């Protein structure tokens, strides 16, 4: 996959703090990741996305960047990153890294200068606005992490915009000079050899210049994350504080920068908000914009169903048949999918196997979060162990994002499940994760880990599942997902039983006569087809060839 390697790729996300601690300080690091690269390559993935490891005060655990061009000492050095990059490339793995372009830390030198007064060279590098006559913020915008999106600064006598923590002031990406500075920092990593960027919260980067109030949201129940209660943020429709049309010239600058480098460097944007699928389609519609984008639709708390998954894929396809989407079921921001979608079946390895097969078979690029190959459920933490500022704000309604960020379990029965030799780790290991440790699953041929390796290995020989077109088919049961993937030399019927009960599925007449009875991929979950009926075991799957 030397050209457009990212189309149909499976990319493994690593949250560096929690992957592997090589120094014994209780926090994962870059040398620890390098040590485990053989494990990742053996999964059969095509690349790695590294969450931030840049210099940071760690108020939001790396998403508050204080230096875009250096490694925080907690994680190692620039030479450690170069060693990681070299070994990954030697194993055939691409490396993409987070670029946080919409905001910085308040400890970044740019902000320190910007806040001094209203006339310095970087005075307009961040978003500043005067108070209302009564001293209140300029408008009604609300921060995702709680409180108004504005923080008053005594130095300037103005408010600055912050969509997250008060320690994360928003850059003024409408300023071309700021755009150039961000792109220069990005060039630093491209020159080093990274294969692309995951662009954090990108559609928050430019907003309504008139700072108009957001309208009321008539249905404030959140659609995403695992929050099932209204917050001030969800009580608004986010019309004016994100996804502004002025973002497109900057997107073209990002693409032009990437296109200047050899090796098919890529960009994947994180897109949130009320119209996230439409924004994903718009940001990737033409070859001068971003390569791909993902949204939170399949990362939501909704229970899985064929109609839910189908509607997400078909919606973006209907909006732009030229856009290439990306999908994930878990990441560092949401409750792990085994818990979120599994419910009482969260500890069933067959659920994990079905979800991995489904995720990596739908049309687009897919992201597999660390530990999902082990079927890790959401960790349960006590209040005293919480670190996530968002979780501390929402507690006890929700423990926040720490439950998906706990250390990776490597060795069952070892201290901290083999993650670290420290006395304590930055987050504790859930005892249930110890039972699912990688070494335990290595010894069990029926484990989720072995299935992931076998399936992703087979997938590499199946071009229809990588770049083929997708057509969904109706089934009588909404727990049965059916679609075909069609490439020039191969067509495959894909079927998934999202239920813990066995199901018999009547195959639609439009494709029944074209199905070959022999399964292309065999596992303990494989269904059997005979006389128009596909029999699927609990959480069963089937991949059957189609003739023309």
List of residues 6+ apart from 90 with CB closer than 8 A? none
Dihedral sign (CA 40, 43, 48, 49): negative
| Strand order from edge to edge, sheet including 150-153 | 128-129, 158-161, 150-153
List of residues 6+ apart from 490 with CB closer than 8 A? 462, 463, 464, 468, 545
Catalytic-labelled residue, pool 29, 64, 195, 200:
200
Q: Taking Cα atoms as reference points, which of 317, 364, 368 lies closest to residue 467? A: 364
- Owner of token pair 């070892």: 414
Q: Taking Cα atoms as reference points, which of 429, 438, 422 lies closest to residue 23? A: 422
200 as an active site residue: the answer is yes
Dihedral sign (CA 243, 245, 250, 251): positive
Whole-number Å distance between alpha carbons of 510 and 473: 9
Q: Which two tokens stand for residue 445?
A: 């041929």
| Rg of the chain taking only CA atoms, in angstroms | 23
388 as an active site residue: the answer is no
Whole-number Å distance between alpha carbons of 380 and 456: 30
Cβ atoms within 10 Å, residue 446: 12
For residue 257, how many C-alpha atoms fall within 13 Å in the half-sphere facing its CB? 24
Q: Do residues 239 and 314 make contact, with C-beta atoms less than 8 angstroms apart?
A: no
Q: Taking Cα atoms as reference points, which of 409, 400, 398 lies closest to residue 375? A: 409
Cβ atoms within 10 Å, residue 431: 11
Burial of 271 (0-12, 13-18, 19+ CB in 10 A): buried
* Peptide bond preceding 58 in cis form (omega within 30 of 0): no
Residues paired with residue 526 on neighbouring β-strands, in sequence order: 541
Q: Do residues 169 and 178 make contact, with C-beta atoms less than 8 angstroms apart?
A: no
Q: Taking Cα atoms as reference points, which of 243, 244, 268 lies closest to residue 255? A: 268
Task: Give SS3 for 530.
Answer: strand
Instruction: Give phi and psi for 502, each to the nearest 5.
Output: -65, 145
Whole-number Å distance between alpha carbons of 271 and 321: 18
Q: Do residues 448 and 353 make contact, with C-beta atoms less than 8 angstroms apart?
A: yes
Catalytic-labelled residue, pool 264, 270, 372, 430:
270
Cβ atoms within 10 Å, residue 39: 16
Catalytic annotation, residues = 200, 270
């Amino acid at each position: 996959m030397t050209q457009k390697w990212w189309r149909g790729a499976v990319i493994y996300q690593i949250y560096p703090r929690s992957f592997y601690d090589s120094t014994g300080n209780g926090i994962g690091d870059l040398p620890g990741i390098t040590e485990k690269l053989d494990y990742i390559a053996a999964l059969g993935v095509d690349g790695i996305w590294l969450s931030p490891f840049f210099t940071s005060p760690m108020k939001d655990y790396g998403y508050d960047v204080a230096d875009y061009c250096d490694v925080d000492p907690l994680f190692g050095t620039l030479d450690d990153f170069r060693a990681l990059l070299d070994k990954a490339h030697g194993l055939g793995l691409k490396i993409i890294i987070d670029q946080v372009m919409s905001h910085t830390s308040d400890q970044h030198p740019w902000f320190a200068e910007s806040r001094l007064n209203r006339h310095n060279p970087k005075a307009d590098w961040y978003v500043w606005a005067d108070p209302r006559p009564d001293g209140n913020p300029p408008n009604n915008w609300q921060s995702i992490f709680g409180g108004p999106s504005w923080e008053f600064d005594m130095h300037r006598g103005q408010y600055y915009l912050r969509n997250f923590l008060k320690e994360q002031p928003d850059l003024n990406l409408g300023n071309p000079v700021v755009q150039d500075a961000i792109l220069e920092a990005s060039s630093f990593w491209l020159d080093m050899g990274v294969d692309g960027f995951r662009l954090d919260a990108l559609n928050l980067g430019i907003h309504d210049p008139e700072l108009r109030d957001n309208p009321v949201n008539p249905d404030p129940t959140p659609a995403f994350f695992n929050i099932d209660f209204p917050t001030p943020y969800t009580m608004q429709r986010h019309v004016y504080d994100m996804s502004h049309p002025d973002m497109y010239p900057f997107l073209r600058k990002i693409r032009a920068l990437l296109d200047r480098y050899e090796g098919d460097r890529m960009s994947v944007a994180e897109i949130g908000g009320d119209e996230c699928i439409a924004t994903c389609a718009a940001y990737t519609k033409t070859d001068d914009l971003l390569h791909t984008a993902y949204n939170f639709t399949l990362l939501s708390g909704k229970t899985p169903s064929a109609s839910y998954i189908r509607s997400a894929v078909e919606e973006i396809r209907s909006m732009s048949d030229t856009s290439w989407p990306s999908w994930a079921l878990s990441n560092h921001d949401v409750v792990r999918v085994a818990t979120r979608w599994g419910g009482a079946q969260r500890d069933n390895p067959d659920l994990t196997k079905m979800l991995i097969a489904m995720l990596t078979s739908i049309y687009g690029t897919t992201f597999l979060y660390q530990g999902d190959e082990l079927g890790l459920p959401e960790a349960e933490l006590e209040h005293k162990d919480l670190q996530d500022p968002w979780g501390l704000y929402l507690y006890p309604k929700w423990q926040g994002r720490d439950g998906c960020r706990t250390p990776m379990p490597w060795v069952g029965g070892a201290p901290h499940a083999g993650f670290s030799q420290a006395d304590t780790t930055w987050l504790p290991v859930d005892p249930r994760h110890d039972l699912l440790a990688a070494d335990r699953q290595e010894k069990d041929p029926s484990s989720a880990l072995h299935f992931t390796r076998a399936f992703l290995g087979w997938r590499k020989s199946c071009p229809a599942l990588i770049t083929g077109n997708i057509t969904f088919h109706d089934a009588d049961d909404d727990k049965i997902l059916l679609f075909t993937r069609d490439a020039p030399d191969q067509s495959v019927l894909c079927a998934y039983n999202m239920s813990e009960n066995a199901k018999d599925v009547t195959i639609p007449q439009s494709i029944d006569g074209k199905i070959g009875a022999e399964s292309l991929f065999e596992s303990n979950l494989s269904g059997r087809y005979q006389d128009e009926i596909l029999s699927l075991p609990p959480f069963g799957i089937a991949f059957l060839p189609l003739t023309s």
